[in-house]
Amino acid sequence: MKNFLLLPAVFTLYLTNPLFTCAQSHETPPQQNANGQRIDTDTLKEDISDDLIELEVEGIYEADMSALVRLVEKDSDNKWCLIMVIGECEATAMVRAMNEFESNRPLTYDLMNTIFTESSLTLQHIIITKLEDGVYYAVLVIDDHGTILRLDARPSDSINLALKAGVPIYAPRSFWDEAKEKMD
């Protein structure tokens, strides 16, 4: 069961268990390629696509001046999850995407999704790659005419784009086994 609620003009996010231990998803200075694109060089050095598990957003919860997103293994009854602290704006965008709420004008993630659908770029999936010093990392995996690009992105932005584009959210099995938490 998904844990989010959309009310007219107000997004209410419920926290059902305040005892979660959460790592923060803070912005860190990005590394860039020659074109100025953000890249995750650690992910590019290794091929992590061999052992990926698919995740889905189980819930979005309110927290002090932020929000939490809880990811679970897709189509699994296990009691493990990955919990990330995200910004209120990113949480609101996730709730909007999960409820397929349309706005009169395109918002940021709508615009990015339009760029993918109207250009030669195809968002294949996202990968939440690692947790380092309390910060989660993710990459967008994009197909550009057969060339696969892996661009560094904040996990909250990556998840929002995946929800808008309807593409899978993955994590390497080794990362999942290390970072997952027991759900109550």
Choose between 34 and 157: higher pLDDT.
157
pLDDT at 22 over 80: no
Mean pLDDT of 64-77: 92
**Integer CA distances (angstroms), 121 to 128, 153, 180, in order:** 20, 16, 32
pLDDT category of residue 155 using cuts at 50, 70 and 90: very high
DSSP state of 105: S
As a whole number of angstroms, the distance between CA 113 and CA 96 comes to: 14
CB atoms within 10 A of CB 24: 12
The pLDDT tens digits for 77-122 are: 888 999 999 999 999 999 999 999 888 999 999 999 999 989 989 9
Cα 155 to Cα 135: distance, rounded to the nearest angstrom: 10
Mean pLDDT (the chain) is 79
Which amino acid does the sequence have at 76?
A: S
- The CATH number covering residue 77 comes to 3.10.690.10
| pLDDT value of residue 50 | 58
What is the rounded distance in angstroms from the CA atom of residue 100 to the CA atom of residue 103?
A: 10
Number of domains the chain contains: 1
Which range, 4-8, 64-68, 125-129, has the best average confidence (pLDDT)? 125-129
Reading the block at residue 152, the tokens are: 């560094």
Domain that holds residue 86: 5-182
pLDDT of residue 7: 29
Average pLDDT over residues 121-138: 94
